Structure formats: structure tokens, C-alpha cells
Amino acid sequence: MLNFNFQNPTKINFGPEEIKTISKEIPLDARVLIVYGGGSIKGNGVYQQVIDALKEHTYFEFSGIEPNPTYDTLMKAQTIIKAEKIDYLLAVGGGSVVDGAKFIAAAALFEGDDPWDILAKQQTFTKALPIGAVLTLPATGSESNGNSVVTRNGNKLPFSSPLVRPLFAVLDPGVTLSLSDRQIGNGVVDAFVHTIEQYLTYNVNGKVQDRFSEGLLQTLIEEGPKALAPETKDDLDVRANIMWSATMALNGLIGAGVPQDWSTHMIGHELTGAFGIDHARTLSIVLPAVMKVRREQKREKLLQYASRVWQINEGDDNTRIDQAIRLTEQFFEKMQVPTRLSDVNLGSSDLDLLVERLAQHGMTALGEKGDITLDISREILTQAL
């Protein structure tokens, strides 16, 4: 196992009626900015629950954070933050809203020239506004990690800091009942790929991490399709298991002390930046290709994955790996997400732009050993055609 430091201070308030707890989590004298997206929270009653809980608080609102939040939208929040002396952010929404709140929080107290440098130059910062979150879409893990992804002019860039990790997160599985099938599928697949990217590398004998990861993968494989099936769609236990899996997949626990390979995400970000494809749908396209192109480097873990996650124990090594990759693709198909670039109308003529963008963004040494060069990324994209 590798050395690690692990601390996750985000308090999780999980279950029905837990939105009420925000009244106690946020100090009464705070000047709160509620940040949210395009209005789904008004249709499903979440907004009303938040407003009811904050009736003793002083609060303001900033809405319109779009999926794959943009720098231009997020910077607009700075006007109200200054005018109203906001000192606390409450993000109510999915990963885009929580990620957006993180950038807003850092930009509000940024001492450098341009907050975009936090992303473009990975400039560090020493202060950020405190954040709480009411999560409405289980997928990203953003509610209890320090990561955020922001887009500007097609450049989709991540940053990370413990200063923007939410202090608390409310996870009420009932609020996910209003999600469309598309967002349910996206969320399950995103959480699945987060787990895989901290698991499918090389063996360091991290038994706890491996078995936690395998448990999360199996839970998502079992419960994900139930959230799409008419007879089990409204089952709150199904939703609860998906929600908790998604949080656990990217709260730092399973990745502590093991190698990680975020190449699927980094290549996927270019697909979203250049062509606007939903985040999770980029991952379901890229991951099977990564498994195929990196099968020698990942051989031992692919065999472990085949055996422990899919119970494939018969046949020679190559056959078992092929079956595991095929079952992964079939699981994605069940979750109604694409597995090929051609499924989203992209072809070989689009690869130059994607590889160029990877180069521009410094994504030239990806993977658990930093040996996925631009040529190998091109091979992965070619495999995904």
C-alpha cells in the first residue's frame, strides 16, 4: 500500500427530512447565498424545503448555473456577494451547482489577478467562503470532496483544494425521484467510473481499498438498472444505495493509498469541452477503450475485476478480460449511455481536435504511471470510434 493522508471533514446528513437540518448547520448570523441551477429544485419541492429551513436566516439567491458550469456565469455571482456581504454559500443541486459554488467561493476571496488562474495556472489560494450542499443528483461526489470543474470557451479544467470542500452535505434520496432517466443513467455511470479509476491500475495489496471498490461497483451494477426499471424506479432503498455509493466513490476513501488513473476523465473532459457531450457519456465511451488499449498494463487488476466483480473464473486470461470488458459495456448499455464515439456522431476526423486540446491542457502523461502519451490517447480514441 502507498503512504497516504486521509481526512474527510464533510458532515453527511442522510435520509428523508434531513433538508431541515440546514437551519442548524448554517450559523444564524451568516449571510447566505443560495446557489442553484436551471430551476429543477422549484419543480420537485427542494427549493421550498430549503427556504422553509432558512426562515430565521438572512439569505439571497443566485441561480442559472448550467450543467458543466462556465466561468462567465459563475463570475456573475461576485456582484451579489460583494453587494450583500455574503459569507456563506449553500449549493442546492447536482455536481455542476456544487462545483460552481466551489469556484465562486474561491473567487470571492481570491487575492491574485484573475480567478481563472486557479484553473488555467493551477494557482493556489489561501481562503474561500464556507460551503454547505443539498445534493439533488448522485454522481460526482462533489458534495464531500474538494474538486471542481469549470469551463471557459470550451476549455474544461479541474482544480482541487480542501478549502472548498463542503462543511456539510444533505443527502435525501427522495429528491432524486424527479431525475430524468438520462440523469439517473449518467449519475450511476459517473460513480462507477470514479470507482474504476481508483481501482483498475496495478496491485499494491491495498485489500481494504480494493474490496470497498468492488463493493461499490457491485452495488452500482445491482441497483443502477433498478432505478430505470418501471417497477423499481420509485424504490427509495434503491435510490439510497445509489446515492451513498456515489458519495463514497469520490470522497477520498477508496483512493487513499492506491495508484489512480484519471485518463478516462481527462480525455472525457475534452469531449465535453469540444462537443458538449454529457460528462458521464464521455466516460462510458472512453473507459472501455482504455481497458482495451491498456490491458497489458492493467492485466492483473482486470483479472481481479473479472473474478470479483463479475464472477468470471472460467477460461484463459484473455478470454476472462474480454468478457469483463464486454460486461462493462453491457452494463453501460443497460444504463442507456453510449459506448462508442459513433453513438454520439463523432468520427475519425474529430480526433485531431481532441488530441490537440489534450496537448494544450498539458494532458500528455496520463494514467497511473504517467505513461499515457498523446499517441496513446489517440489510440484510445481510435479504439472508441
Can you tell me which of 129, 139, 324, 363 binds ligand NZQ, judged by CB under 6 A?
139
Beta carbon of residue 208, minimum distance to ligand NZQ (angstroms, whole number): 22
| Residue placing its CB nearer to ligand NZQ in the complex, 104 or 179 | 179
183 lines the binding site for ligand NZQ (CB under 6 A): yes
CB within 8 Å of 14: residues ≥ 6 apart: 170, 171, 172, 240, 243, 244
Q: How far apart are CA 185 and CA 336, in angstroms?
A: 6
338 lines the binding site for ligand NZQ (CB under 6 A): no
| In contact, 242 and 235? CB cutoff 8 Å | no
Contacted by 141, from Zn ion, ligand NZQ, none: CB < 5 to 8 Å by type = ligand NZQ
Q: Taken in order 103, 104, 105, 106, is the CA torsion positive or negative?
A: positive
Nearest to 105 by CA among 38, 154, 35: 35
Cα-Cα-Cα-Cα torsion 30, 31, 37, 39, nearest 10 degrees, comes to 100
SS3 letters for 281-349?
Answer: HHHHHHHHHHHHHCCCCCHHHHHHHHHHCCCCCCCCHHHHHHHHHHHHHHHHHHCCCCCCHHHHCCCHH
| Residue placing its CB nearer to Zn ion in the complex, 18 or 99 | 99
Residue number with the shortest CB distance to Zn ion?
190
| Residue placing its CB nearer to ligand NZQ in the complex, 286 or 321 | 286
Contacted by 219, from Zn ion, ligand NZQ, none: CB < 5 to 8 Å by type = none
77 lines the binding site for ligand NZQ (CB under 6 A): no
CA angle 199, 156, 39 (to 5 degrees): 95
145 lines the binding site for ligand NZQ (CB under 6 A): yes
Binding mask 183-222 for Zn ion (x = CB under 5 A): -------x--------------------------------
Can you tell me which of 40, 155, 251, 284 binds ligand NZQ, judged by CB under 6 A?
40
Can you tell me which of 265, 298, 301, 357 binds ligand NZQ, judged by CB under 6 A?
265
Can you tell me which of 32, 49, 93, 165 binds ligand NZQ, judged by CB under 6 A?
93
First to last CA, the chain: 36
- CA dist 127 to 41, 102, 130, 132, 220, Å? 29, 12, 9, 16, 36
Contacted by 179, from ligand NZQ, Zn ion, none: CB < 5 to 8 Å by type = ligand NZQ
Which residues, 133 to 192, sit near Zn ion by CB under 5 A?
Answer: 190
Beta bridge partners of residue 148, listed in sequence order: 159
Binding site for ligand NZQ (CB under 6 A): 37-41, 44, 67-68, 93-97, 99, 136-137, 139-142, 145, 147-149, 175-176, 178-179, 183, 186-187, 190, 250, 265, 279
Binding site for Zn ion (CB under 5 A): 190
